[in-house]
């Protein structure tokens, strides 16, 4: 009977993805390996995985994050999207 069983609490709300996970999910979307994905693909992914975002909300995020407005999302733009989404949910 030791005292080695410490239960860690407070991690249930830890939804922030790691950079590794972000890269992985981006690559999964970027099926042709071009280094960018279409806004449509990202939109679909966000609406599906997050569930609680409407397509309109996602569209607004995309519009803001697509800095060069080429309808494609590079990895750096993708990071902006994720950051915005987490900023929005923690507000
Ligand atoms: Ca872009």
Handedness of CA 69, 72, 74, 76 (dihedral sign): positive
Say what the pTM is: 0.65
CA of 76 to the centre of ligand 1 (A): 9
Residues present in the chain in total: 91
- Rounded to the nearest angstrom, the distance between the alpha carbon of 90 and the centre of ligand 1 is 25
- Please report which confidence band the pLDDT of residue 87 belongs to, taking 50, 70 and 90 as the band edges: confident
CATH code 3.40.50 for 36-89:
no
* Distance between Cα 13 and ligand 1 center (Å): 31
Transcribe the chain into DSSP letters.
--S--PPP-S-TT--PPPHHHHHHHHHHH-TT--SEEEHHHHHHHHHHHH-S--HHHHHHHHHHH-TT-SSEEEHHHHHHHHHHHHHHHT-
Separation of CA 37 and ligand 1 centre (Å): 9
User: Residue 10: what pLDDT?
Assistant: 47
Ligand 1: distance of its center to the CA of 21 in Å? 21
């Amino acid at each position: 009977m030791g005292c080695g069983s410490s239960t860690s609490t407070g991690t249930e709300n830890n939804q922030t993805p790691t950079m590794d996970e972000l890269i992985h999910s981006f690559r999964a979307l970027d099926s042709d390996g071009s280094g960018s994905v279409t806004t449509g693909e990202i939109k679909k992914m966000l609406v599906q995985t997050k569930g609680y975002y409407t397509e309109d909300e996602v569209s607004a995020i995309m519009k803001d994050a697509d800095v060069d407005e080429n309808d494609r999302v590079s990895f750096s733009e993708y990071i902006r999207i994720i950051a915005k989404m987490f900023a929005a949910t923690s507000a």
